[in-house]
């Protein structure tokens, strides 16, 4: 068994069912109760609270393994921050995507000043192990200040509309936020989105750009990777 995945020892349900429940929750805009119904239709009786625990236990481990397997992302980073209203307080979701639109990393913080931007930059550098070739952001001054401190040698672009790729990537987060009736806490948002991003990266194939036969091949490959990562094969 993959040493990066927690042991399934002691769980009544096999890895195939546990990983499928986690996949359903993070791949589609469904609730824990929806996943419970989808499994029940297959003759699998499990409560939504159990599914919640599965997602909390195995989701982060799956995401870490997916990130290790994926390795380094593209060398052009698009950064943007999104406002989140959590328990009546404003939080900021910092997100970075590469030139292919894949999520590199996210970080939920209470501020969007220079220190917060620098913290996110360092998290990105630690996760990727290298600096990007180009950094693209909006005109928020925190980015420029952090850029001068953390990676001054990187080309920094703030042209109008250049950062649209990062802004568009927020759409799936907004949809899940609405479906979940807002995140319960900053930690809850961080935990969920840290898993949601790698899962979406794996299964975001771009159907409209491919012939049907190529789309099916890539989708099959994604399922195979998921089974290997979750030890469900």
Q: What is the chain's pLDDT, residue by residue, as a tens digit (233 residues)?
A: 445 667 898 899 999 999 999 999 999 989 999 999 999 999 999 999 999 999 999 999 999 999 999 888 999 999 999 999 999 999 999 999 999 889 999 999 999 999 999 999 999 999 999 999 999 999 999 999 999 999 999 999 999 889 898 988 888 899 899 888 899 999 999 999 999 999 999 998 877 778 889 889 999 999 999 999 998 76
Angle, CA of 47, 9 and 35, to the nearest 5°: 25
pLDDT of 181 reads 87
Could you give the CA distance from residue 191 to residue 175 in angstroms, rounded to a whole number?
17
Copy the structure tokens of residue 94.
Answer: 């910092």
Q: Which of 51, 71, 67 is nearest to 199 (CA)?
A: 67
pLDDT of 228 reads 93
Architecture of domain 76-182: 2-Layer Sandwich (3.30)
The pTM (predicted TM-score) of the whole model is 0.89
Calculated CA dihedral for residues 123, 127, 129, 132, nearest 10 degrees: -70
**Where exactly are the structural domains of the chain?**
15-70+203-230, 76-182
């Amino acid at each position: 068994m993959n040493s990066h995945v927690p042991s399934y020892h002691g769980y009544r349900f096999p890895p195939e069912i546990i990983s499928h429940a986690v996949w359903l929750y993070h791949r589609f805009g469904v609730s824990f109760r929806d996943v419970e119904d989808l499994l029940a239709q297959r003759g699998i009786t499990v409560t939504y609270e159990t599914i919640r625990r599965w997602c909390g236990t195995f989701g982060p481990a799956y995401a870490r393994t997916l990130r290790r397997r994926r390795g380094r992302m593209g060398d052009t980073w698009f950064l943007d921050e999104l406002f989140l209203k959590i328990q009546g307080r404003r939080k900021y979701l910092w997100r970075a995507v590469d030139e292919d639109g894949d999520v590199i990393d996210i970080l939920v913080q209470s501020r969007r000043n220079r220190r917060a931007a620098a913290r996110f930059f360092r998290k990105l550098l630690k996760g990727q192990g290298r600096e990007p070739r180009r950094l693209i952001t909006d005109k928020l001054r925190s980015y420029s200040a952090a850029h001068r401190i953390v990676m001054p040698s990187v080309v920094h672009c703030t042209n109008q509309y250049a950062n649209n790729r990062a802004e568009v990537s927020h759409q799936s987060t907004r949809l899940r936020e609405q479906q979940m009736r807002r995140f319960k806490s900053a930690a809850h948002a961080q935990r969920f989105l840290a898993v949601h991003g790698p899962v979406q990266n794996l299964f975001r194939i771009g159907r409209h750009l491919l012939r049907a036969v190529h789309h099916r091949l890539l989708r099959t490959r994604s399922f195979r990777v998921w089974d290997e990562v979750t030890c469900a094969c």
